Amino acid sequence: MKLTVVYDNEADIGLKSGWGFSCLVEASERLLFDTGPKGDELLFNMKQLNIEAKSIDKVIISHEHWDHNGGLEALTEIHSKVRVFKPDSCSGLTQISPGVRSTGPLEGAVIEQSLIVETGKGSIVVTGCAHPGLENILEKARPLGKIYGVVGGFHGFAKLQELDGIEMIAPCHCTKAKKEIRQKYPSQFREIKAGNIIEVSD
C-alpha cells in the first residue's frame, strides 16, 4: 500500500503548494482522495509526480469545500469516465475498493467522509479536514481492527490522547495542533507535505 501526497500547504521543491489537500492511495486500485483547490495546480503536481490522470480508477471527495474539490472539474475533463464518490455517495461504512472503505458521511461543521485503508500492519485513516472531529472518525474505524496510522488534516482536534497507540501520526493541511502533536508523539510523528510518499508493506 502506497500513499503519495499530491497537494498540501507545504511542498517539496518543484511542486505547487497552497491551502488544500490531495492524496493518491495505491492499493488494489489507484484512488485519488481530494483534489486540492485548483485544477491547474493539481494536474501540475500529478505530472511532476508521474501520475497519469487516466490511471486514476476512482476519486473520493472528503467534503464540499473548495480546497478539497477545486481540482475535480479539471481532472474529469481529462478523465470523464472516472467514478467520483462524494459524501452523499456513501451510507455508513462503504467499500470503495478492495481493502479501502469510506467512513460514510459524518456530521460536523460540514458533512465529511474519510478513508480507512487496510494494510498488513493495521488500517490507515486518511482525512480531509476532520470537521466531524478526528476522535469520531477514529471511533468509526476502530471496530475494523487496529489503527496503524492517520494521515491528513486534523483541523481543531485537541483530544490528543485519542492518538495513543497509533504508530504513525501524519498531520498536515489544516491541523492547528501540529506542534503539540509532535511534542507528545515525537517518535510516531511524521512530517507531511506534497511529494511525500508513505509505503506500508505486509
Q: Give the pLDDT score at 201.
A: 80
Please give the residue range of the domain that contains residue 188. Answer: 2-199
Burial status of residue 104 (CB atoms within 10 A of its CB: 0-12, 13-18, 19 or more): middle
Total-model pTM: 0.97
Q: What is the CATH number of the domain that holds 6?
A: 3.60.15.10
Residues of the chain where predicted confidence (pLDDT) is lower than 70: 202
Q: Give the pLDDT score at 109.
A: 86
Unique residue bearing C-alpha cell 481492527: 145
HEC assignment per residue over 18-84: CCCCEEEEECCCEEEECCCCCHHHHHHHHHHCCCCHHHCCEEECCCCCHHHHCCHHHHHHHCCCCEE
Count up the domains in the chain and report the number: 1
Q: Give the pLDDT score at 48.
A: 98
Q: Give the pLDDT score at 63.
A: 96
Phi-psi region of 55 (alpha: psi -120 to 50; beta: other; left: phi over 0): alpha
CB atoms within 10 A of CB 37: 21
State the DSSP H helix or E strand holding residue 138, giving kind and residue range, or none if neither: helix 134-141
How many CA atoms lie within 13 Å of 159's alpha carbon, on the beta-carbon side?
A: 9
Q: Do residues 195 and 12 make contact, with C-beta atoms less than 8 angstroms apart?
A: yes
Q: Give the pLDDT score at 202.
A: 67
Burial status of residue 89 (CB atoms within 10 A of its CB: 0-12, 13-18, 19 or more): middle
Cα–Cα distance for residue pair 13/140, rounded to 1 Å? 36
Phi-psi region of 46 (alpha: psi -120 to 50; beta: other; left: phi over 0): alpha
